[in-house]
Structure 1
Amino acid sequence: MTEKPMRLFLVAGEKSGDLLGAKLMQALRRLAPDAQIEGVGGEAMIREGLRSLFPLEDIAVMGFTSVIAHLPRLLKRIDETARAVVNSKPDALVIIDSPDFTHRVARKVRARAPSIPIVDYVSPSVWAWRPGRAPAMRAYVDRVLALFPFEPAAHEKLGGPPCVFVGHPLVEHLDELRPDAEELRERESDPAVFLLMPGSRRSEIERLMPVFGQVLHRVAQHGRRMEVILPAVSHLEDAIREELRSWPYKPEVVLGDRAKLAAFRRARAALVASGTATLELALAGVPMVVAYKVSRIEELAKHFIDVPSIVLANLVLGENVVPEFIQRDCNEVALANALAPLFTHGAQRDRQVDAFRDIDRTLSPPGDEPPSMAAARNVLEVAGALLTR
């Protein structure tokens, strides 16, 4: 009798999770070529063969107020996803980032089908705020796969589920992120390539695009020769272009990872929303200024955050080398003044460039195994397909 193929159900909730999910699918197929994979994902996972239950845009929201505004649709999709998992009877459910959505799915699945193992790929920031989430996760998560080396100790201290550092998948893209000799010369020559990255969520675009436009106008008025590039995600292209109609100085909008990475390799400096993009830029060696705005309700809640920085690159480095401007501090004067020294060699630019040189080592798991392969091996271990090494 032939052995039943492995069945895995993957659930991503936004673009960053979609990219992680796609790399995970590639690695899973190397280790378990016959595995059947279904679930919820976006463009990247669909390119790997996933038939998503519904479009990722239906659930790609972030923050308390955004979740409240879209709550009816989210609740419908949460229940639909949980029912699909239970009906599928997978050997493991893998929830990927986006805890506002994926953890609700996991709790429903655990209640309805307790025997399905659940892996959480990307730990919530329990080390930063709402630490009570860590022990609560023990009820519905069997293993956490951490992207950052400090997270397993945080979960152990807080009483969370078993947590394993598998490394950050971005280190698998170093060749695409880091410039070759010709691109380095371009980076140092004029006109300087300046990146604007206002985020990959609609709420970020709405809050940050106006001030980014003001900053660009102010920087351009100083006569600096620039080639300004704005990498965008496809589902927000229309919203971005609508906002750009009022900008006196318009950037070039580029779509897709290839165009984005090509811009990273040539960029002299960047103005970027807080998020994974700060790690990408750090790995590419691009000095940056980080901006972020949240709703008033979220601002009040975030008074309870206990971290020295909101910038992931700073947290990984263990020092605040990247300047950050949040809420009222996120204004055109402050941002433009912080950006100015990054276009020329000097103490502020050099400090970031020097700090970024070895960040890939900090983000890599022990040994030579790529992060996505380490993650896939853990998923299959939890699913019972591999013996724990």
Structure 2
Amino acid sequence: MPAPANGRVARKIFLIATEESGDRLGAHLMKVLRQRLGDAVTFEGVGGLAMAREGLKSLFPIEELSIIGFSAVIKQLPKVLRLIGQTVAAVVRARPDMLVIIDSPDFTHRVARRVRSRDPSIPIVDYVSPSVWAWRPGRARAMRAYIDHVLALLPFEPKEYQRLRGPPCSYVGHPLTEQLALLRPNAEEQQRRNGTPPVLLVLPGSRRGEIRYHMAVFGEALDHLHAQGKEFELILPTMPHLLEGVREGVQSWKVAPRIVVGEQEKRAAFRIAAAALAKSGTVTLELALAQVPMVTAYRTGGLEAFIVRRALTVTSVILANLVIGENVVPEFLQENCTAEKLADALGEVLSDSPMRRRQVEAFARIDGIMSTGNQPASVRAADVVLGMLRKSRRTA
């Protein structure tokens, strides 16, 4: 690689992100690194549309890995293994100054292990920790063999890596904390949030498989809630690629929701919502930051449920609960995810109940818990990457 015009040593960074959320993280990291290094940095790797806008030409479309559930992975295992091999070969051939893997540990960690085996001189950073604090804690210690540093999105994760004897870990902040103005209401929106009938959000998931598992039971719960005499305005935010499945799922609902499509419409719905029924996941943290009380649920296939249930080491799978340090958000998992139980909990969270008040009080503390000062997550992540580049054994 020719030296850049400013005389600085050129750096090549290989990034791998196979989901939309990771793609956004990768794009922000690329943008900050280019701001810091200018033409002294180049990027290769795997990513989506956001990283493409920052100049990355992806090795393959990330849609090829839009797989959910253990059974789905098994069915597509030959393709997954082929893409892992293709990615490892590309990394080793590129000989980058750093490999940054972003989330999607089932794919990215397999790549990282093979890269470390074939070329131990490539530093490897893991952006977004796998849930070692929730299940399979032994992964943390195993990661020391092939991960040099973990960039954590959740404030409790560095202590967990110390406790579990994992690789060095730095809390860089969650990108959601940079979007508070988009999540919280202005005066007019607050009036609607406090108004009647209350706006109830329904969030069945961000993947097709999740929607299949949740739509029927969510619809039944809302029917029960309506039959109990509760009034509410129902809004279901979704994304364009999920719209067909959502429309098909609500056909059996007796209470019809207003479906809104796209990130902007979703944020607008969050700002006026009084409560939410949500599939567990990152959206629970998003709702907590938006200060929307919620009821959460999760259903999945029998094989995945069997494995996860026996491996869990935490008392809650709800991110909002884990960050706050209290189980303030009710969760209904697998056989406990019934229409009757969801409806009863929603009735509480839609009224001035102790459950609702406890959530509101807890969510008011979350800004302080997740604070990173005035630095965005992408800037803190870039600081760690740049510090490692300066110390790298490949570029010393």
TM-score (norm 2): 0.91
Matches within 5 A, 1:217-366: 217-301=223-307, 302-365=309-372
Change over 3 Å in CA distance of 1:22–1:251 after alignment to 2: farther
Q: Distance in 2 between matches of 1:33 and 1:358?
A: 39
Return the offset for 1:4.
4.7
Partner of 1:178: 184
- Contact preservation (8 Å) 2:150, 2:167: yes
Which residue in 2 is equivalent to 1:13? 18
1:203 aligns with one of 209, 221, 229: 209
Which ranges in structure 2 are unaligned for 5 or more consecutive residues? none
The answer as to whether partners of 2:126 and 2:150 remain within 8 angstroms in 1 is: yes
Give yes or no for contact 1:265–1:284 (8 Å, CA) kept in 2.
Answer: yes
Shift of 1:223: 4.6
**Segment of structure 1 superposing worse, 139-148 or 44-53:** 44-53
Mapping 1:31-180, distance limit 5 Å: 31-34=36-39, 35-180=41-186
User: Is the CA contact (8 Å cut-off) linking 1:187 and 1:268 kept in structure 2?
Assistant: yes
User: Residue 260 of structure 2 aligns to a residue in which SS?
Assistant: strand
> For the structure 1 residues 229 and 45, does the alpha-carbon distance in structure 2 shift closer, same or farther, using more than 3 Å as the test?
farther
User: Residue type of the partner of 2:113?
Assistant: R
Shift of 1:132: 1.4
1:231 touches 1:260 (CA, 8 Å); kept in 2? yes
- Matches of 1:72 and 1:236, distance apart in 2: 26
Percentage of matched positions with identical amino acids:
54
Structure 1 pair 337/186, CA: closer, same or farther in 2 (3 Å)? same
The answer (yes or no) to whether the contact 1:27–1:372 under 8 Å persists in 2 is yes
Runs of 5+ unmatched residues, structure 1: none
Trace 1:350-389 onto structure 2 (pairs within 5 A).
350-365=357-372, 367-384=373-390
Q: Is the 8 A contact 1:198 1:208 kept in 2?
A: yes
| Shift in Å, 1:97 | 1.0
| Alignment-mate amino acid for residue 111 of structure 2 | V
Matched with 1:26 is 31
Shift of 1:178: 1.2
Residues 341 and 129 of structure 1: is their aligned pair in 2 closer, same or farther, counting only changes over 3 Å? Answer: same
CA contact 2:134–2:317 (8 Å) conserved in 1: no
What SS does structure 2 have at the residue aligned with 1:384?
helix
Structure 2 distance, partners of 1:38, 1:245, is 44
SS state at 1:10 partner: strand
- Does the 8 Å CA contact 2:221/2:342 hold for their aligned counterparts? yes
Residues 48-106 of structure 1: CA distance to partner in whole angstroms, max 9, x if unpaired?
44332222222132442232122122112212222222222222111111100110111
How many Å apart are 1:157 and its aligned residue?
Answer: 2.2
CA change 1:368–1:58 in 2 (3 A) is same
Q: Which amino acid aligns with 1:339?
A: L
* More divergent stretch after superposition (20-29 vs 109-118): 20-29
Tell me if structure 2 keeps the 8 A contact 1:66–1:203: no
* Greater Cα offset, 319-328 or 201-210: 201-210
Amino acid at match of 2:226: A
Amino acid at match of 1:28: L
2:88 partner SS: helix
Take 1:300 and 1:193, find their aligned partners in 2: how far apart are those partners?
Answer: 35
Q: Deviations over 1:144-173 (max 9, x none)?
A: 111122222221222211111112121111
Q: Structure 1 249/162 Cα, relative in aligned 2: closer, same or farther at 3 Å?
A: same
- Residues 23, 230 of structure 1: alpha-carbon distance in 2 compared, 3 angstrom cutoff: farther
Find the aligned partners of 2:16 and 2:106 in 1 and give their Cα distance: 12
**Counterpart in the other structure of 1:189:** 195
TM-score, with normalisation over the residues of structure 1?
A: 0.93
Q: Deviations over 1:322-360 (max 9, x none)?
A: 000001110111001101122232322111111101202
Higher mean C-alpha deviation, range 88-97 or range 36-45: 36-45
Contact 2:230 2:347 in 1 (8 A): no
Task: Measure the CA separation in 2 of the matches of 1:237 and 1:7.
Answer: 39
Question: In structure 1, what residue type is equivalent to 2:271?
Answer: R
- CA root-mean-square deviation: 2.0
Determine if contact 1:119/1:382 at 8 Å carries over to the other structure.
no
Given that 2:152 and 2:170 are in contact with CA atoms closer than 8 Å, whether structure 1 keeps it comes out as yes
Distance in 1 (alpha carbons) for counterparts of 2:68 and 2:109: 14
Q: Cα–Cα, structure 1 residues 259 and 43, in superposed 2: closer, same or farther, change >3 Å?
A: farther
Q: Contact (CA 8 Å) 2:202, 2:235: kept in 1 or not?
A: yes
Q: Against the structure 1 CA distance between its residues 238 and 46, is the aligned structure 2 distance closer, same or farther, given a 3 Å change threshold?
A: farther
**Equivalent AA in structure 1 for residue 121 of structure 2:** S
1:22–1:45 CA contact under 8 A, matched in 2: yes
> 1:23: how far off?
2.7
The 3 A distance-change label for structure 1 pair 149 and 104 is same
